[in-house]
Amino acid sequence: MNAIKVVFAFGQEETEISNYEKYLSQARSVGIKTHCFGAVSIGAFFFALYGYYAYAFYVGSFMITDKIENSNSGKPYSSGDIMACFLGIVYGAFSLGLAAPNFKALTEGKVAGKMAYDIIDRIPEINSNDSRGKIIEAPKGRIEFKNVTFTYPTRPGQKILDNFSAVFEEGKTTAIVGASGSGKSTIIQLIERFYDPDFGDVIVDGKNIKSLNLKAFR
């Protein structure tokens, strides 16, 4: 909603609506599957519960009428024995049922832990601590983009720069002008080598930025 004026100014309402519908349909399908699974689980739980009711009273009636002896006391089962056993299992089952929502927290914790360890164990493509590479002793500041094409790893289907070429001369002020999302900040990030271009080269003082010692360069 914050960028609705920008969307309206560039006439992108239909594009944004289609994007919204695309992600909304994905969430809708996931929501339907989740609620169907929940409904089936609840149905199965109550089916098992009432089935246990029927089985307990059916078998318990034979234990009482046939005077089957309790192995612990040696006396026939009474109605109190049957009800005590019945209620004990019912309350135990309910307790397990109440514990089920907590399993969701355990699952979320496992997912969050995996995401954290994935970040910790990730080997970056651009290692700022790498001691190798050339060092520019007397930097002048001439920067050249040669046919640079770039897409963010999280948005591989959207090109930010497409065959972009430009020269930023030393000692001169160069303005980068464009609409939001046109790649202005991306150009700065490529110069700082937070990312590497998919195609093309970024040249600093005649040297490819990939060949420079990153820590010294920054």
Q: Which residue has the higher pLDDT, 74 or 189?
A: 189
What is residue 73's predicted lDDT score, i.e. its pLDDT?
Answer: 67
What is residue 71's predicted lDDT score, i.e. its pLDDT?
Answer: 67
b/e map of 50-65 (b: 16 or more CB within 10 Å)?
eeeeeebeeebeebee
Q: Which residue has the higher pLDDT, 73 or 186?
A: 186
Identify whether the C-beta of residue 49 lies closer than 8 Å to the C-beta of residue 93.
Answer: yes
Q: What is the mean pLDDT of residues 84-110?
A: 81
**Taking the CB of residue 186, how many other CB atoms lie within 10 A of it?**
21
> What is the tens place of the pLDDT at every residue in 4-60?
788 777 788 888 888 888 888 888 888 898 889 888 988 888 888 788 888 888 888
Token duo for residue 19 = 């994007």
Report whether pLDDT(75) > 80.
Answer: no
Helix or strand or coil: residue 150? strand
Q: What is the mean pLDDT of residues 51-71?
A: 78
Confidence of residue 126 (pLDDT cuts 50, 70, 90): confident
Confidence of residue 139 (pLDDT cuts 50, 70, 90): confident
What is residue 125's predicted lDDT score, i.e. its pLDDT?
Answer: 82
Report whether pLDDT(88) > 60.
Answer: yes
Q: Considering the chain, what is the average pLDDT of its residues?
A: 84
Q: Which residue in 136, 49, 57 sits closest to 97, CA to CA?
A: 49
Residue ranges of domains in the chain: 9-121, 143-217
Token duo for residue 46 = 């109550």
Token duo for residue 37 = 């699974």
Q: Kindly state the DSSP code that residue 125 receives in the 8-state scheme.
A: S
Q: What is the mean pLDDT of residues 131-151?
A: 87
Q: Which residue has the higher pLDDT, 176 or 62?
A: 176
Helix or strand or coil: residue 152? coil
Q: What is the mean pLDDT of residues 86-109?
A: 80
Report whether pLDDT(1) > 60.
Answer: no
CATH superfamily of 143-217: P-loop containing nucleotide triphosphate hydrolases (3.40.50.300)
